[in-house]
């Protein structure tokens, strides 16, 4: 008897390119990494849920990689600016921003194997028609309006 094992593929259908409403779902500390840019840097990965659903009816999940710095020229600075209603504090607990809404610009990039990946090029403040950044203790619920459309609704955190 022969048993053939395959490693499960982590590849998935990428989110389509475009501008989407999104919310900060989670973040992870990647520690100090050296990506060949000259010196090691403390890196974070921020996960955003888009208000666009895939074929299974689940919201697309896209990440953005940034340094753990609130310097004016850092990527994290622009993300916090968008998520925190235009204010970047001198000290920040990222957990405070979980559930905050924004707009993201998603583009595609190909890797060495020819696979297409969705990347967040820019994070913008929420559109005027979208709800304001939720008050503390509130999170968005992308599953609440599956039948009604693709917009998030605000629901009390559980």
pLDDT one-digit tens code per residue, 102-116: 999 999 999 888 888
Distance CA 25, CA 84 (A): 14
Q: How many domains are contained in the chain?
A: 1
Mapped onto helix, strand or coil, the DSSP state of residue 94 is helix
pLDDT of residue 142 exceeding 80, the answer is no
pLDDT of residue 140 exceeding 70, the answer is no
Do 94 and 54 contact (CB within 8 A), yes or no? no
Distance CA 8, CA 10 (A): 6
38 Cβ neighbours under 8 A, 6+ residues apart? none
Average pLDDT over residues 62-90: 90
20 Cβ neighbours under 8 A, 6+ residues apart? 50, 51, 52, 60, 103, 104, 106
pLDDT grade for 2, boundaries at 50, 70 and 90: low
Higher pLDDT, residue 62 or 12 = 62
Do 124 and 102 contact (CB within 8 A), yes or no? yes
8 found inside a domain = no
What is the percent of the chain with per-residue pLDDT over 90, rounded to a whole number? 23
Task: Give the domain extent around 78.
Answer: 18-147
104 found inside a domain = yes
154 found inside a domain = no
24 found inside a domain = yes
Task: List pLDDT tens digits, range 17-35.
Answer: 999 888 898 899 988 988 7
């Amino acid at each position: 008897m022969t048993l053939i094992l395959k490693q499960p593929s982590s590849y998935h259908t990428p989110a389509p390119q475009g501008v989407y409403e999104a919310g900060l779902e989670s973040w992870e500390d990647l520690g100090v990494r050296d990506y060949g840019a000259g010196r090691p840097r403390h890196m974070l990965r921020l996960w955003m849920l888009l208000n666009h659903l895939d074929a299974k009816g689940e919201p697309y999940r896209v990440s953005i990689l940034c340094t753990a710095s609130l310097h004016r020229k850092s990527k994290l600075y622009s993300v916090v600016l968008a998520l925190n209603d235009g204010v970047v504090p001198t000290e920040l607990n990222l957990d405070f921003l979980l559930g905050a809404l924004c707009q993201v610009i998603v583009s595609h990039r190909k890797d060495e194997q020819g696979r297409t990946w969705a990347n967040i090029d820019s994070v913008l403040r929420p559109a005027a028609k979208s709800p304001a950044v939720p008050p503390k203790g509130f999170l968005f619920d992308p599953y609440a309006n599956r039948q009604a459309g693709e917009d998030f609704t605000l629901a009390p955190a559980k």
